[in-house]
Chains A and B, each alone.
Chain A
Amino acid sequence: MTTVSIDRVSRWFGNVVAVNDVSMTIEPGVTGLLGPNGAGKSTLIHMMSGFLPPSSGSVTLDGAPIWKNQLAYKQIGLVPEREAMYDFLTGWDFVLANAELHDLPDPGAAAQRALATVEMEYAQDRQVSTYSKGMKQRVKMASALVHDPAVLLLDEPFNGMDPRQRMQLMELLRRFGAEGRTVLFSSHILEEVEQLARHIEVIVAGRHAASGDYRKIRRLMTDRPHRYTVRSSDDRALAAALIADASTAGIELDLKEQQLQVQAVDFYRFTELVPRVAKEAGIRLLTVSPADESLESVFSYLVAAK
């Protein structure tokens, strides 16, 4: 049972604060690190993998600091986001070299096992430079798994993968989690994270926005007030009908733009309400579009709510 602890960690680069007073504990099982691009996910993973010291606070692996502690890599497997690897090697040579660098007693057997785990044996004799993005990702996985680590850190592992490769990798990570390993992966896509991770940590603008199981995060994200822009054949009549229902909190009739700004408080009920009300009143809906559905705004809501 291996645990990564992040305790009151901040990290700044000059004047820019990338990670702001974050505390979290990554335990065995699969944890998803969710946040929009630029939120500080990579910075956190760099600190957890010993490639960046925290400006303040501590990042530890079972109590031992990770920064400048090369022995921690006996337990950590790292799948970096960047693609560059020793492209001139074959997949086999690359994974074998990783096994040797871990001083494993039988690097050949370990490399073989790791390549089998990611199902890359068929291409192991080809040069890495000839691989597709998904294949590179899998060889990177193999190199991270070669020493059978207790902790697996993956930075945006699903980026650029096709759906089938994504499914495969998810299956693999699920299995590692079930085996009792501590698996942490980052992503900016909620659907991806909730498919895979039981536990989700949300980070926004360098701050820890939410933490919990995927149902809780989903609820947090849907239970907030949603804003919609609605255009119809009769905005005023539609507004009157909508405000009568408890799922809306406010409606503004924007005469200049000829549209409604609707604030909904019950997401599911509202999405069901709009078409029904319009149909009953004989109003034609022209536009119903969420005004603030970008991930950024969803996340900033979470930060503000905290």
Chain B
Amino acid sequence: MNVTVARLTARGLLGRRRGLLLLALPVLLLALSALVRAIAGQDESTASNVLGGLALGTMVPLVGLVAGTGAIGPEIDDGSIIYLLSKPQPRWKIITSKLVVAVGCSVVFAALPTYFAGLILFGTFENLTLGFTVAALIAGIAYSALFLLLGVVSRHAVVWGLMYALLWETVVGQYVPGAQTLSVHQWALSIGEKIASPGVISSSVHLPTAVPLLIVATLGGAWLASSRLTRLTLAGEE
């Protein structure tokens, strides 16, 4: 962990339009939650739908995408990463610092808003809110690592990330049950399932499968990102 790298990353992430985008998503979620609660009252299935579909299914991956790719992609695109890389700092340290910032963004802009949305919708009953919050937190970490990796390896990281989060996890997952085994969303749900009262949250992946996959995805993503960053070349302008 390098404080300077983290500071630069955070300023780059939050300083521009990206900061507003990160802020807009949770505000939208909270406003919708308040509206739903006012109209539908305190209803378990409604709360579960909003938290599962909107918070965990949409907001968490989007925030992870913006934070994960935004933590490194723009610097690689415009070449300013050269100022970080032409220093005697191990690459894994640079990746770790950036990952910490991206995860921090996921906590602030995705996990915490999920928690508050849960409180608004359903209070603390049946540990529904806690389950979804922990799931959001875990998913946020895994998404951050995966999307950070995407940011290192591809110039079109956002497109790939969207395709994964929206197409694979949502659409493909609906029709091809096997696809759900490789879904951060489902892995995180399986942890939420364990925390909430039985039958409140359900995942298509079992916990003993989900946990190792989450660890592999997160650590593997970070490790691969470091190793790719070590071999990052600058394409000549000529």
Which positions in A face B, CB cutoff 8 Å?
Answer: 18, 37-43, 46, 49-53, 68, 70-74, 76, 78, 80-82, 84-86, 88-89, 94, 97-98, 100-103, 143
A86-B234 CB under 8 A given contacts A70-B88, A101-B4, A103-B88: no
Which residues of B come within 8 Å of A, CB atoms?
2-5, 7-8, 11-12, 15-16, 78-80, 82-91, 230-234, 236-238
Bound-state CA distance A149–B123 (Å) is: 60
Asked if B11 and A18 make an inter-chain contact with CB atoms under 8 angstroms apart, the answer reads no
- Cα distance A242–B218 in the bound complex, in angstroms: 79
Q: How far is the CA of A100 from the CA of B11 in the complex (A)?
A: 16
Q: Which residues of A contact B15 (CB under 8 A)?
A: 88
Asked whether, in the complex, the Cβ of B79 is within 8 Å of the Cβ of A101, the reply is no
Chain B residues in 8 Å Cβ range of A40: 238
Q: Are A73 and B88 in contact (CB under 8 A)?
A: yes
Asked if A73 and B86 make an inter-chain contact with CB atoms under 8 angstroms apart, the answer reads yes
Contact A70–B91 (Cβ < 8 Å)? yes
Q: A86-B80, A100-B4, A102-B87 are in contact. List 13 more A-B contacts (CB 8 A).
A: A43-B238, A51-B232, A52-B233, A72-B88, A73-B87, A78-B86, A80-B82, A82-B237, A86-B11, A88-B11, A88-B12, A88-B15, A97-B8
Partner of A46, one of B83, B231, B236: B236
Give Cα A37 to B236, complex, Å.
11
Nearest 9 pairs between A and B by C-beta? Answer: A84-B78, A101-B87, A100-B4, A82-B79, A51-B234, A38-B238, A84-B80, A42-B236, A78-B86
Docked complex Cα distance between A74 and B12 (Å): 26
Q: Which residue of B lies closest to A153 (CB)?
A: B86
Distance (whole angstroms) from the CB of B128 to the closest CB of chain A: 41
How many angstroms between the C-alpha atoms of A88 and B17 in the bound complex? Answer: 13
For residue A53, which residues in chain B have a CB less than 8 angstroms away from its CB? 231, 233
Task: Decide: A18 near B87, CB < 8 A? Known: A86-B80, A101-B5.
Answer: no
Counting chain A CB atoms within 10 Å of each CB, the highest count among B8, B82, B83, B232 belongs to B83
Question: A42: shortest Cβ distance to chain B, in Å?
Answer: 5
Contact between A70 and B87, CB atoms less than 8 A apart: yes
Residue numbers in A under 8 Å from B236 (CB-CB): 18, 42-43, 46, 52
Report yes or no: B12 in contact with A86, Cβ–Cβ below 8 A.
yes
Interchain CB contact under 8 A, A97 and B82: no
Per the bound structure, the CA–CA distance linking A43 and B90 in Å amounts to: 24
Contact among A42, A86, A97, A98 for B237, CB-based, below 8 A: A42
Q: Name the residue among B79, B87, B230 with the largest chain A CB count within 10 angstroms.
A: B87
Chain A residues lying within 8 Å of B83, measured Cβ to Cβ, are 85-86, 94, 97-98, 101, 143
- By a CB distance below 8 angstroms, the chain A residues around B8 are 86, 89, 97
Q: CA–CA, A37 to B12, complex, Å?
A: 33
* Contact of A51 with B85 in the complex, beta carbons under 8 Å: yes
For this complex, 13 residue pairs linking A to B, each with C-beta atoms less than 8 Å apart, are A38-B238, A42-B236, A43-B236, A50-B86, A51-B234, A70-B90, A73-B88, A74-B88, A78-B86, A80-B79, A80-B234, A101-B2, A101-B89
